[in-house]
Amino acid sequence: MLRRATGDRRIIVIDWETAAVGPPTFDLVSLISGKWTEEQRRAMRAAYFEQYQAETGQLMEWETFCRDLAAIVLYQSLEWLAWWGRYRALSRGFATFRNELERVLEEHFATG
């Protein structure tokens, strides 16, 4: 992407790596994965939840929203693990995605 000349920074990179047509919460999942604290993740989920309802006028149930979001977190974690295993040697990055998968399984799919 080009912008008006401002010194030596005319070209700006836009990372479209995970851009796709799909559930709107896919972007939220991308934002909340990684080294955030649970409190930070909860704040981002709540902000999205409230803003979505305000913008669309559609009421949602918090539990349903969290369950739907968990399914997308699970999907994304598995997708990244599969990609990482195909195209990269096992490394620190693989551990990051594995840890994200463990977190979502414990948080949303643990029984008992």
Chain centre to alpha carbon of residue 60: 20
Q: How many CA atoms lie within 13 A of 65 on its CB side?
A: 20
Distance between CA atoms of 76 and 18, rounded to whole angstroms? 10
What is the number of domains present in the chain? 1
Is residue 87 domain-resident? yes
Chain segment 53-64, per-residue pLDDT in tens: 999 999 999 999
Determine, yes or no, domain membership for 46: yes
Cβ neighbours around 70 below 10 Å, total: 16
pTM of the model: 0.65
User: What residue type is 28 in one-letter code?
Assistant: L
Would 34 be classed as within a structural domain?
yes
Range of the domain at 30: 25-108
pLDDT < 50 positions in the chain:
none
